[in-house]
Structure 1
Amino acid sequence: MSAIAGFLTGRVTAWVTLALSVVIVGLLFALVPAGDSDSFPDAGLPSTTESARVSDLLDDFPSADGTVGILVWSKEDGGELTTDDLAAVGDRATGLADLSTTPQAVVPQPSEDGLAAIVAVPLDAADVEGDLSGTATELRDVASDGLSDGLEVRLTGPVGFQDDISNAFAGADFRLLLVTVIVVAVLLIATYRSPVLWIVPLAVVGTADGLARIVVTALADAVGITIDASIGGILSVLVFGAGTNYALLLVARYREELLVEEDRHRAMTTAVRSAGPAIAASGGTVALSLLTLLLASLAGNRALGFACAIGVVIAIAFALVVLPAALVVCGRGLFWPFVPRIRDGDHVGAPPGFWTHLGRGVQKRPAIVAITAVAAIGVLLLGLRGYTVGLSQTDQFLGEPDSVVAQEIIDESFSAGLTSETTVLTDDESVEDTVTAVEDVDGVESVRPGESHDGRTAISVTLDAEPESEAAFATIRALRADLSTADGVTADALVGGSDATALDTNDAAAADLALIVPIILAIVFVILALLLRSVVAPVLLIASVLATFFASLGAGNWIFLNVLGFPAFDANVTLYAFLFLVALGVDYNIFLTTRAREERARFGTREGMVRALASTGGVITSAGILLAAVFAVLGVLPVVALTQVGVIVCIGVLLDTLVVRTVLVPALVFLTGDAFWWPRNTPEMREFSAS
């Protein structure tokens, strides 16, 4: 490590490193083909799930290449449709029929309460996929052309929801990047108190983010992985958050060395040699944790792990290679106006500050501090009451896009499940028995046998529950249970469709959570044990991280239910929050405890922890606040799942930074003493007084 650090920061080799980095990055930007992201990828379910099997079989049916756009007319004031209104809807239906693959099926259907009318427009799925926005715009234009004042129309159904998802992410990359850059710039300026220093780490991390985007999409295209807009957003936030965290740690250690070393090159060499292993270990933990998602059953989870692991590796490379060279080339003046100057003595001669006093205070009463911190975390755990997973289709957006408002109108005036068709596939010889069995299930509103292919018949089933709601899921479970116990070949019937797909996705997400969590914990334990050469320390540190996760999940759940009005968690939010909080929380554990281990060699366990907290408390707090703010930026995207991830991680990082890492972990070290480092718990060299 010393040789590498010396090369990166040498008087001449620093310039060489910086120049080579610019050339290599420039070539990658120029030569690596830019891939495209998908705003609405397939569910990515395993092929063994029942809904995936139905979907695969339906691909061979004559109508497999079809989709539908559903137009809903209603009065702006919520009143009943007049005869003239219904006549206008009929005229618009005639125009919509010209756009349909099945014109005779485009027939207006008024509601029984007289408050709404709908028209379903069958369309060619390939044409819609080729120009979703154009198709949706054309449907809206024809449906609204010449409508009288007070009568309005909205597009929903598969085409409407897909178009709204695309619109939600339209310009998302630029908007998310802009807000992230502003947040990072403001916090770096506040942290460094310099009008120029922040530019270098921001430029380095921003370049890393841009490179990560093109490398990830190019590699994903090469291996057949779909990177959707939400994954791209999380990737950008993670690279900026992790990259600036590593930059803060390196710059803090570099500034510390500049106070005792006249030669800035030697100061940076020492900083890289000291902070480099902690940064590499922290980033390695995050990357390995993300790679565990490749074991997940959902394709979206695998894509997230693939993309973000690559992004973190790139962030580490820039933090340990490009940033040291860039900083040392710029010289001490980069810290203006608070330029670090050489002073007498060494690191221990620094005057005690807030973090030293805090460490001394925790050292005096570690038991009381630990109990108080645990009690505060316990209070947040109470927020887990009412925790549920699974958002309905209309609950997945922030705001009220047309497709959601239209679906709510359908829920009130028609059948709630009208726009979400469930399909039961059965053998041709058992159609009547299957229809009878399906009709007997509670929650089924209507059943209609459809087309046949290769010995199977597709039976269309309409539920009376809102699409992708818990009531719809209960009906799907009941359908599958009743059909599986039916007589004869009816028992071989399969239940698919959008609600069944959403249910299977939730179940697969729960299975992924149960699989990935213990693997991540094992990886974190091994890395901490190897890095700290202790068995007790990893156990206590992982316990603190888990406490942070559950507390932030509880606080987030309370906020979602009582403040933001989210009825449940999205299927993957818990796994993503666990992954980021545990992996990134271990970052701060590593920053603190590796420094404590370094100081322990000179001052003993307890005094070493005080000095480690004094040295890293400021930078860890700054890094935590910055990371929390960066994840909160996910809330600028109008998607509930990303907002939930951002809120939970933001709460967790702040809790981890301000409570767990600053008082709870030091208190545990003071309570356990040398046993914290067992089995390498050699007697402390000396204990300093608290004065």
Structure 2
Amino acid sequence: MSTPSTPVARAENSRVPRWLRILVPVVLAIAWLVVFAAGGSSFAKVSAVASNAQAQFLPSSAEATTVQELQAEFRDGDLIPAVIVYERDGGLTDADRSFIADQIAALRDVPGVSTDDVSPMIPSEDGAAAEVFVPIDSTIKVSDTVDEVRAYLADHVSEGLAVYVTGPAGLSADIAGAFSGIDGLLLLVAFAAVFIILVVVYRSPLLPIIVLGTSLVALTGAVLVVVALATAGVVTLTGQTQGILFILVIGAATDYSLLYVARYREALRDHERRWSATWKALTTSWEPILASGATVIAGLLMLLFSDLNSNKGMGPVAAIGIGFALLAALTFLPAVLLFAGRVAFWPVRPRSGSAHPVLTGPGARGTWPRLGTVIARRPRAIWIGTTLVLLVAAVGMLQLKADGVSQSEFVLGHSEARDGQTVLGEHFPGGSGTPAVVLGPEGSLAAMADVILAQDGVASLTAIAHESPSGTVPVTRDSVSDLRVAPTVVDGRVMLQATLDAPGDSAEAEATVRELRAQLATVDGEVLVGGVTAVALDTNDAAIHDRNLIIPLVLLVITLILMLLLRAVLAPLLLILSVVVSFAAALGVSALVFNGIFGFPGADPSVPMFGFVFLVALGIDYNIFLMTRVREESLKHGTREGVLRGLASTGGVITSAGLVLAATFAALGVLPILFLVQISFIVAFGVLVDTFIVRSLLVPALGYDLGRKVWWPSALARGAR
């Protein structure tokens, strides 16, 4: 039986004075409680500093960004258009037109509406609908203004007259509404799922609360820092970044806590004194926890090389979250468990001197030792078979439609803006309210107009003319040389607005804008094309660029970290290949599910990239947990025995960690946002594949089959076994 009088325990206790053994955990616990108290109010500020405006995601070098900056000089303010669409089956009546005119007058008084820029009612050619353009000041919260407009319209109705608020402002408000549950519902579902899993795993009422408390203080600290940086303009915070931050911190902090708790439980069997057990748990767990966190942080920071500001902003924000998860798991959790001791594990307390579970051999009991026995019998058949299964699943990637979706499809479920866009397209050119904006030299006005009007997909053309009562002047082939009102000229440029046949956020509209850019490049002088469609087009192009750049960078940096951690070259390469194959399988299955079961219209180009970053960075965590233990055991017992002992000793904790992380990412699915639902499925499913196939079968079988060669070229590869 081990007792506190063992040489290790006596040495640890003699080195650290009693007052310091009390002071250090007390200071750590109080420091985290101060962070918790200070950061609690930051949760209410996250949504206020987050932006979901797609135009703000673009890099400054994008053509649409340049146009957005220049076109502000042609307008009195920074405005975003809302389009109100009225429709009556059988056609609008005179009473309807009078009713609409009264509503237009009343809407001018809504705070946030640009009074002087509200258009008169514009009837459709079929007489069944009318549209009104209501520019909204984007320097204030657009969704609040749209909500007030919708509230007024809902309180003042005319029987049989349908009304919708759509356009860019309406879509923005719907997206903001979809993110409204991010602070409450998302956290509630995530914490509830994790708590249930922890109760089942630990069969203890207190330990799950301690572990969740660690996640909560980590999340509070991360939110405190992120809100401060976003307020100062250092990072870009979006609704989807906010949701992923919450999930990453909860999942990662819980995973790291599970590993520490497992080591602490082992140490309590060997040490009667809680300080000795805490020190032992820290010395054996800090390296894999730190390495796991470092791989995730390094992978996330590769997003700083992105073109899209939204991607670039997610990198440091998520890395901050992982950093706080690491700190909390290595400081707050050990301090709390030091005070709680064996009571934390009640009613199944680990007793000092009790025997450790037998990991291999005839006396071994349990799922993981039995699985190790199966792997030892036929390792090559197992790793080849599992690899083939994963590769077959990966074939589904060919069905993935990740070339972008329209912004109106971004919100799942009900969307008034999307319904309004459908009605708008039935009675007006689909691009009404979201014209393509063309800026070019005054002297090339006629040439630009000729190119634009000759382009298929363009319904009409106007020029900005401040002298006109409507602020614009129609441009046709016949009138371009003799417009009734002179276009406004700013710094030698004129501004044209081309209404497209297709909805502004559709693939057809993007194709038209791409062709317009190509044709206008032949006109003398610099001609730029921007607007809502161009923003979406440039966003997709930047997302594809980011995907092609970030994935290799993530692979490179994580491979280097693994080589440093495992002191080998072959093992890290094999681990990276295993998680890449796992990712491909997860993406292949996800594509089939998205298309065949959920019927999603497609995916944003950044979905595969984020799925890769999260799955490779997080999936490698479990291989790190496993292989660091395998290496530790291999130094004592040889590689093949070390593989079996490592699998048996880490099987339970890694499986629990995988279930927790899958559950937390699955919680993202409660938010009706297409991007988040897709990411939640890809990562949750991929984590389960990593947990139950890659880490449980593929990696142990491959390591056992290769034996000591897996550690090449380190000294361990030249050992006897």
Measured after TM superposition, the shift of residue 136 of structure 1 is 2.0
Task: List per-residue Cα deviations over 1:304-342 (Å, max 9, x = no partner).
Answer: 111111111111111111111211210212111111224
Task: Name the CA distance, whole Å, in 1 between partners of 2:717 and 2:585.
Answer: 36
* In structure 2, C-alpha distance between the alignment counterparts of 1:274 and 1:512, rounded to whole Å: 38
Unpaired stretches in structure 1, ≥5 consecutive residues: none
- Counterpart contact for 1:10–1:265, Cα < 8 Å: no
**Corresponding residue number in structure 1 for 2:707:** 673
**Paired AA for residue 425 in structure 1:** L
Select which of 476, 481, 486 maps to 2:518.
Answer: 481
Q: Deviations over 1:555-575 (max 9, x none)?
A: 222222222222211232222
Q: Which residue of 2 aligns with 1:181?
A: 191
Q: Is the 8 Å Cα contact of residues 143 and 169 (structure 2) preserved in structure 1?
A: no
Assess if the C-alpha contact under 8 Å between 1:169 and 1:637 holds in 2. Answer: yes
**Matched residue SS, 2:440:** strand
Cα deviation digits, residues 588-637 of structure 1 (max 9, x gap): 11100000001111221111101100011111111001101101111122
Distance 1:412 1:558, change over 3 A: farther
In the alignment, which residue of structure 2 is the partner of 1:662?
696
Change over 3 Å in CA distance of 1:398–1:617 after alignment to 2: same
CA 1:102–1:426: 2 relative to 1, 3 Å: farther
Instruction: State the match for 1:458 in structure 2.
Output: 495
Counterparts of 2:717 and 2:578 in 1: how far apart (Å)? 26
The amino acid that maps onto 1:374 is: T
Tell me how far apart the structure 1 counterparts of residues 374 and 91 of structure 2 sit (CA, whole Å): 70
1:333–1:26 CA distance, 2 compared to 1 (3 A): closer
Distance 1:154 1:505, change over 3 A: same
CA distance 1:406–1:7, shift in 2 (3 Å): farther
Q: Give the Cα separation in 2 of the matches to 1:141 and 1:604.
A: 72
The 3-state SS of whatever aligns with 1:415 is coil
Equivalents in 1 of 2:206, 2:99: separation in Å?
Answer: 64
In the other structure, the counterpart of 2:24 is 17
CA offset digits 1:221-260 (Å, max 9, x no partner): 3353232232122111101100000001111121123234
1:135 partner letter: T
SS at match of 1:60: helix
Aligned to 1:140: 150
CA 1:11/1:610 → structure 2, altered by over 3 Å: closer, same or farther?
Answer: farther
Distance 1:576 1:11 in 2: 48
Distance in 2 between residues matched to 1:12 and 1:686, nearest whole Å: 47
TM-score, normalized by length of structure 2?
Answer: 0.88
- Higher deviation after alignment, 137-146 or 226-235: 137-146
The separation in 1 between residues aligned to 2:679 and 2:15, in whole angstroms, is 37
- 1:368 alignment counterpart: 381
Q: Which residue identity lines up with residue 409 of structure 1 in the other structure?
A: V
Partner of 1:589: 623
Task: Tell me how far 1:104 sits from its aligned partner.
Answer: 8.1
Q: Distance in 1 between matches of 2:342 and 2:274?
A: 7
Matching residue of 2:473: none
- Deviation of the 1:481 alpha carbon: 1.0
1:5-84 correspondence runs (5 A): 12-28=19-35, 34=42, 36-41=48-53, 42-75=55-88, 80-82=91-93, 84=95
User: Any conservation in 2 of the 1:8–1:14 contact (CA below 8 Å)?
Assistant: no
Partner of 1:93: 104
Task: Work out the CA distance in 1 between the residues paired with 2:298 and 2:446.
Answer: 53
Matches within 5 A, 1:547-626: 547-626=581-660
Query: Aligned AA for 2:505?
Result: E
Write the distance in 2 (CA, Å) between the matches of 1:113 and 1:432.
32
User: What is the letter of the counterpart of residue 572 of structure 2?
Assistant: P
The alpha-carbon deviation at position 466 of structure 1 amounts to 2.5
Counterpart in 1 of 2:172?
Answer: 162
Alignment of 1:276-425 (within 5 A): 276-343=286-353, 348=358, 351-387=364-400, 388-425=402-439
Q: 1:436 aligns with which of 441, 446, 450?
A: 450
- Of residues 659, 664, 687 in structure 2, which corresponds to 1:630? 664
Match among 516, 523, 531 for residue 565 of structure 2: 531
Q: Is the 8 A contact 2:547 2:605 kept in 1?
A: no
Residue 437 of structure 1 deviates from its aligned partner by: 0.7
Alpha carbons of structure 1 residues 131 and 476: separation in structure 2 relative to 1, 3 Å: closer
1:47 and 1:107, CA in 2 relative to 1: closer, same or farther beyond 3 A?
same
1:98-141, Cα deviation, whole Å (9 max, x unpaired): 66646686322333445432221234x2xx54253552244234
In the TM superposition, residue 657 of structure 1 has moved relative to its aligned partner by 0.5
Give the letter aligned to residue 130 of structure 1: I
State the percentage of identical aligned residues. Answer: 40
Secondary structure in 2 aligned to 1:613? Answer: helix
- Give the TM-score taking structure 1 as reference length: 0.92
C-alpha deviation, 1:150, in angstroms: 3.2
Which whole-Å deviations, capped at 9, do the CAs of 1:133-163 have from their partners, x for residues lacking one?
A: 5522442344445423332312111221222
Deviates further, 446-455 or 196-205 = 446-455
| Aligned equivalents of 2:703, 2:307: Cα separation in 1 | 40
> 2:265 corresponds to which residue?
255
Instruction: Give the residue type in structure 2 aligned to 1:277.
Output: E
Counterpart contact for 1:43–1:501, Cα < 8 Å: no
Instruction: Please list the CA deviations of residues 255-285 of structure 1 after superposition, one character each: whole Å capped at 9, or x if unmatched.
Output: 1232343333322222211111000010011
Q: CA RMSD in A?
A: 2.6
Find the aligned partners of 2:119 and 2:203 in 1 and give their Cα distance: 65
